[in-house]
Amino acid sequence: MLLPRLIPMLLIREKGLVKTTKFTDDKYIGDPLNAVRIFNEKCVDEIIVLDIDATVKGKEPDFNMIESLASECRMPLCYGGGIKTVEQALKVLSLGVEKVSLSAAAIQNPNLITEIADKVGSQSVVVTLDVKRKRFGGFDVLTHNGTKSTKCSPVDLALKFQDLGAGELVLNSIDNDGLMTGYDLKLVGEVKKHMTLPMTLVGGCGTFQDVEALHAQEGLIGAAAGSFFVFKGKYRAVLITYPSEDIRLSISNLFNPISST
């Protein structure tokens, strides 16, 4: 039986691990290397690491930091932040990273997706869209930590990037980020019905029931989270956790029940 993909997303700022709320009010929560070591022991499916300052500050990827993370990581690693060229993407992948995530760079230079995919295969190219609800309905894709509007819908961009050779799409809900009140199911529903690519949703997960609701609606879609895996209790004490295989099987059984004989 296929298990749901449950993916920790780690945000890096000034080499430290942080967690944001609606892309603001970031809180330092520790050393990313230590977090990776803990997730290793918990047999995590895969992990996403995003340097949230690299693009905003016009910096290239911190290759030394990426190499340190990749050398510790015993699960598939996706890295995003500051990648603007094919050469940078190839260097990141050469350090032991399995996937590179593009965001602002993909919007500014869509052909970069094709150029990287032609070199290493679509399976290594992820596009992450940071999405915010518009005041009078619909969705807008933003870049630069949610400060710049593209005036494009996530559906239009997702279809474009799919045609250009992206291998996976990550939808990041700005409105739900860090709130732990549930995923934006309307957002993922609107985008996924147009797509054939594997998709992952992030933003808002606070309980296993949120993951169950996502999979009940969309099937075996990737469920990523930050706060859910690093905070514990109403005071949000830092405690890195990850569900056991038994819990993941129980989620899977909700929409893929074992047939009776």
User: For residue 14, what are its two tokens?
Assistant: 């000034």
- If pLDDT is split at 50, 70 and 90, which confidence band does 259 have? very low
Q: Note whether residue 79 is domain-resident.
A: yes
Q: How confident is residue 261, by pLDDT bands cut at 50, 70 and 90?
A: very low
Kindly name the residue from 51, 53, 62, 130 that is annotated as catalytic: 130
In a domain, 95, yes or no: yes
Give tens-digit pLDDT for 42-72: 989 899 999 999 999 999 999 999 999 999 9
Q: What is the CATH number of the domain that holds 39?
A: 3.20.20.70
User: Quick one: pLDDT at residue 258?
Assistant: 46
Residue-number span of the structural domain to which 111 is assigned: 6-255
Residue-wise pLDDT tens digits, 104-151? 999 999 999 999 999 999 999 999 999 999 999 999 999 999 999 999
| pLDDT tens profile 66-106 | 999 999 999 999 999 999 999 999 999 999 999 999 999 99
Residues 6+ apart with CB under 8 A from 191: 154, 155, 158, 169, 171, 199
Out of 162-176, 195-209, 221-235, 247-261, which region has the weakest mean confidence (pLDDT)? Answer: 247-261
Q: Is 1 part of a structural domain of the chain?
A: no
Domain assignment present for 260: no
Q: Strands, DSSP E only, in the chain?
A: 6-13, 16-21, 24-30, 47-51, 77-80, 99-102, 125-133, 139-143, 148-149, 168-173, 199-202, 222-225, 231-232, 237-238
The pLDDT of residue 257 is above 70:
no
The residue behind tokens 């819990």 is 247
pLDDT of residue 254: 61
Count of the separate structural domains present in the chain: 1
Is 138 a domain residue? yes
pLDDT at 3: 67
Give the pLDDT of residue 47. 97
- For residue 150, being part of any structural domain is answered with yes
Q: Is residue 153 part of a domain?
A: yes
Q: Is residue 261 part of a domain?
A: no
For strands 6-13 and 16-21, give the pairing: antiparallel
Residue 81: other Cβ atoms inside 10 A: 26
Mean pLDDT, to the nearest integer, of 165-177? Answer: 98
163 is catalytic: no
